[in-house]
Amino acid sequence: MRRAGLVIAAAMVIASCGRTETPAPAEAPAPAPEAQATPAAPQAMWTVTEGIKTPESVYFDPASGFIFASQIDGAPDGRDGNGRIVKLDVSGKVVSATFTTGLNAPKGLRAVNGTLWTADLDEVVGIDITSGKVTSRVKIAGAKGLNDVATAADGTVYVSDMPANRIYAIKGGKADVFIEGDQVEHANGLLVDGNRLIVGGWGSEPKADFTTDVPGHLFAIDRQTKQKTLITAEPIGNIDGLEMDGKGNYLISDYLKGQIMRVSADGKSEVVAQFKPGSADFGVMPGHMIVPHMNENSIGAYMLP
């Protein structure tokens, strides 16, 4: 599925010495360090449940000004034809609960050049962002479970295959392996940032319940050389959603913990919002984040922390 705290250093209290003929008072013990308090769940600006069923990904499209949300509406690996895309306005009003239908288990969403792309099990589906009609399907042989998508200005579409430990690049209707193997860390979240593909690793081999023995890093892959560079020096979570906050920081969601974390360009991270487990591939629009609560069949909008 597409499903840290700052420790405040305690100051040493130095006891002042008495005069030589008087015993000096004992040194006061240093106070114990305080762990960072877990942020409370932020107040929702709006919440929508109408037409929402197992939402996995939310994407705000700046060009059209609308929000799109993928609905699995069934098992995450089910080929049941129940999958669909919902269209909302920025106030949370459902414009169309059946904007695109006939999908199976759509997950990641991202648009480029008027086409909304979504990952649907073993194919990447192109959708006209105005009409909602499917315009193309790119079948990927050997795919085990396509998850998130990212788009580049040149029209390249990247898609993660978390179970296969692989990322594909699609150009001109043809899919090729972009990078694969253990270095991919069972990638889930993807985001194009200039000449780099930013990747959120899920971690080591996912178990049946999607937990891992080792969580994933946030890292970058050079789109030309394919060289990997860690952004976080240490593993930080089972990374699902991945966005930028407009201030040079990355925002990521840990699906299993229900946390939203902010990661600076130099890799420092902090938890900025706490939700229930199942906070999946969220989207951002100016000043706000839109979070799909997959296990709660709802989508909520919140102020960007």
CATH class of 46-303: mainly beta
Mean pLDDT of 170-178: 96
Residue with tokens 């690049």: 169
Ranges of each domain in the chain: 46-303
Positive or negative: CA dihedral 141, 143, 146, 149: negative
Residue-wise pLDDT for 243-284, tens only, equals 999 999 999 999 999 999 999 999 999 999 999 999 999 999
Residue-wise pLDDT for 110-143, tens only, equals 999 999 999 999 999 999 999 999 999 999 999 9
pLDDT category at 5 given cuts 50, 70, 90 is very low
Q: What is the distance between the alpha carbons of residues 62 and 114, in angstroms, rounded to a whole number?
A: 11
The per-residue pLDDT for 87 is 98
The CA-atom distances, in angstroms, between 233 and each of 1, 6, 229, 236, 272 are 24, 16, 10, 9, 19
* pTM as predicted: 0.87
Residue-wise pLDDT for 228-248, tens only, equals 999 999 999 999 999 999 999
